[in-house]
Copies of this chain bind each other. A is one copy, B any other.
Amino acid sequence: MGRRKVEIKRIESKSSQQVTFCKRRNGLIEKARQLSVLCESSVAILMVSSTGKLYSSSFGDSMAKIIKRYEIQHAAALKNMDLAEKSRNYLSHKELLEIVKCKLDEANLDDASVESLIYLEGQFKAALSVTRARKTELMWELVKNLEEKEKLLREENHILVSQLAKMEKKRLPETEDEGAMSSVNSYGNSPPKTLPLLK
């Protein structure tokens, strides 16, 4: 669209290239703006000229947000893998980085303010440990249950031992044998069929 048709191939003349870059760069940005407005969408454009200069613009959301969005999407495939496991399997720097970025983004979608890297680290660890914390919690419940059972069983045992000792004494009153089973408390004579302890 100009005085004559141009082939889409490298422009040899550096100055023409520069002019065209400038014109088309502006055109691209305007098109992006229009797309954003017309279609209620976010658009980000990054351009690096042949001389290495960077141009960027975004519409709708901020550049940071759009890029973050991209990275979340991009890392989505990796995010569910267990970090430690990946580590053990000799993850490359790049892959590990992807996972880490993803986790950070997950932990930080609302752009909360931060004061230090330690805070960030804390956020990160917290996010990481939610699932594990639940697992630990359940395990603790299990352990406590078992400990309770153990205590009850020991009590029951103790009572039984006492009863046995008493009966032994009745049968053989001369025995002075005591030791570990020296009973403390006595119960009624009828042997308990089952102590109402376990389930």
Contact = CB atoms under 8 A, between A and B. Distances in A.
Interface in A20-49: 20-21, 24-25, 27-28, 31-35, 37-49
Interface string A148-187: 0110011011001101110110110000000111000000
A71 to B, nearest CB: 8
Nearest to A135: B136
Contact of A129 (B84, B90, B104): B84
Contacts of A130: 84
A194 interface: yes
Contacts of A122: 83, 87, 96-97, 99-100
A38 B24 CA distance: 10
A104 B122 CA distance: 10
The A interface is mostly helix, strand or loop, or mixed, namely helix
B70 A38 contact: no
| Contact-residue size bin, chain A (C-beta under 8 Å from the other chain) | 35 or more
A10 B38 contact: yes
Contacts of A140: 139
A32 B8 contact: no
Contact of A92 (B24, B48, B64, B156): B64
A99 B122 CA distance: 8
Given A94-B64, A150-B150, A41 B50 contact: yes
Nearest to A19: B39
Interface in A77-96: 82-84, 86-96
Contacts of A153: 150, 153-154, 156-157
9 contacts: A44-B47, A87-B129, A94-B104, A94-B105, A101-B118, A153-B153, A164-B191, A167-B167, A179-B194
Query: Sorted from nearest, which 6 A-B pairs have the closest CB atoms?
Result: A84-B129, A146-B146, A153-B153, A160-B160, A87-B126, A21-B39
